[in-house]
Amino acid sequence: MADLERELRALAAAVELPEPPELSARVRAGLGRHEPRPRRRPILAFAVALLAVAIGAAFAVPQSRSALLRLFGLKGVTVLRVDRLPPVGPGPVVFGEKTTLAAAARIVGFRPLLPKLGKPDAVYLERPAYLVLLYGKPVRLRFSELRPGYSPIEKFAKVSQEVRPVTVDGRPGLWIPGNHVVIEFGNQPRLAGSTLLWEHGDLTLRVEGKLTLAQALEIARSVP
């Protein structure tokens, strides 16, 4: 709770609250007469709202009640920084139905985008709008395409990890270095590798693997 208390104290010190009103003269002058309630200044309501958001974020995830969370997000994806990562199941997790790019395109309603990595070794579809391309046997790289508007993807990174906002061809993105936990469409939590996420038109794209930021950005910029 020490980190949370420091954050809230710093926030309170930074917000200018109104001086308490002088009530004695008003009461003496207005006995027996109805006085309308004074309107609260907008800054007070704003300060209360900020405190509520900070507290709500800090306690949103049970595994991280000892530290104030830092929240990041893109369309369809939420990233939370926590003290401890949620538990994951053993081994790699592949979900959805195995399919082809042509069949997936008819279902998801958008043209699958292909980075310059060659033909994927496997294609999986989580209906209605999440496409995963796998490269390598065993899998060495995942390239995901999400049409936002459905159940979001949740990512959990440790507080010690430097989740970094980036841009890809002028579009917003996030870089998560190292292992973290991802929950995709309510499926079993799995351990993910370094990941770059970015917005591309109406889609949110994601590349994951043993990558440096420079390598991930090179792949991202190869997407048409």
Domain residue extents for the chain: 2-58, 70-221
The Cβ of residue 38 has, within 10 Å, a number of other Cβ atoms equal to 10
CA atoms within 13 A on the CB side of 180: 28
Nearest by Cα to 149 from 185, 189, 111, 104: 185
pTM reported for the whole predicted model: 0.67
Q: What is the DSSP annotation of 4-67?
A: HHHHHHHHHHHS-PPPPP--HHHHHHTTTS--PPPPPPHHHHHHHHHHHHHHHHHTSSGGGTTS
- Is residue 25 predicted with pLDDT exceeding 60? no
- Measure CA of the first residue to CA of the last residue in the chain; give whole Å: 47
Would you say 120 and 133 are in contact if contact means Cβ atoms under 8 Å apart?
yes
What pLDDT digit, counting tens, does each position of 162-204 carry?
999 999 999 999 999 999 999 988 888 999 999 999 999 989 9
Distance CA 188, CA 186 (A): 7
Distance CA 93, CA 220 (A): 23
What pLDDT digit, counting tens, does each position of 46-80 carry?
443 443 444 344 444 444 333 334 567 788 898 99
Nearest by Cα to 184 from 59, 88, 81: 88
